[in-house]
């Protein structure tokens, strides 16, 4: 099976712009989660989508949003970019067959640099 794929792998934006990142989960996986990784804050949970519905949300401002499509692919959007949004954004998928917490498999990440 192909793993989790994320596009693009690298992105450079300027402050105030918005950005959309894409994640394709492992075939058959219905849950997609997003994480932000920075040197200062480490790995932090952004949100989780399951069957096109947001099931969990971390402590990030409303500028961070996401969605999931019927084929389980997911996108996350960051509006009005700030310098502090520079990070590695990781997507993870799980089959979610139960129990309600299942093993998550991570993609390679999208490296976002905000100038």
Partner 1 sequence: AQSVTQPDIHITVSEGASLELRCNYSYGATPYLFWYVQSPGQGLQLLLKYFSGDTLVQGIKGFEAEFKRSQSSFNLRKPSVHWSDAAEYFCAVAAKAAGNKLTFGGGTRVLVKP
Kindly list the residues in this chain that would bind partner 1 in the complex (CB under 8 A). Answer: 4, 31, 33, 35, 42-45, 48, 50, 55-56, 58, 90, 92, 94, 96, 99-109
Question: Which residue's CB is nearer to partner 1, number 44 or number 65?
Answer: 44
Name every residue whose Cβ is closer than 8 Å to that of residue 55 and which is 6 or more positions away in sequence. Answer: 31, 48, 49
Quick one: the chain helix, strand, coil %, rounded to 5? 5, 50, 45
Which CB contacts under 8 angstroms, 24+ apart, belong to 45-50? Answer: 46/76, 46/89, 47/76, 49/74, 50/96
The minimum distance between CB 71 and partner 1, in angstroms, equals 19
The minimum distance between CB 8 and partner 1, in angstroms, equals 14
Question: Which residue's CB is nearer to partner 1, number 17 or number 56?
Answer: 56
The minimum distance between CB 81 and partner 1, in angstroms, equals 22
């Amino acid at each position: 099976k192909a793993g989790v794929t994320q596009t693009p792998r690298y992105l450079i934006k300027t402050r105030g712009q918005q950005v959309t990142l894409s994640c394709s989960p492992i075939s058959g996986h219905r849950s997609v989660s997003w994480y932000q990784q920075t040197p200062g804050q480490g790995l932090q949970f952004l949100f989780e989508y399951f069957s096109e519905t947001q099931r969990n949300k971390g402590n990030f401002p409303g500028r961070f949003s996401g969605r999931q499509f019927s084929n389980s692919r997911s996108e996350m959007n960051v509006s009005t970019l700030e310098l502090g949004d520079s990070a590695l954004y990781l997507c993870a998928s799980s089959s979610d067959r139960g129990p309600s917490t299942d093993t998550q498999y991570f993609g390679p990440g999208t490296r976002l640099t905000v100038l």
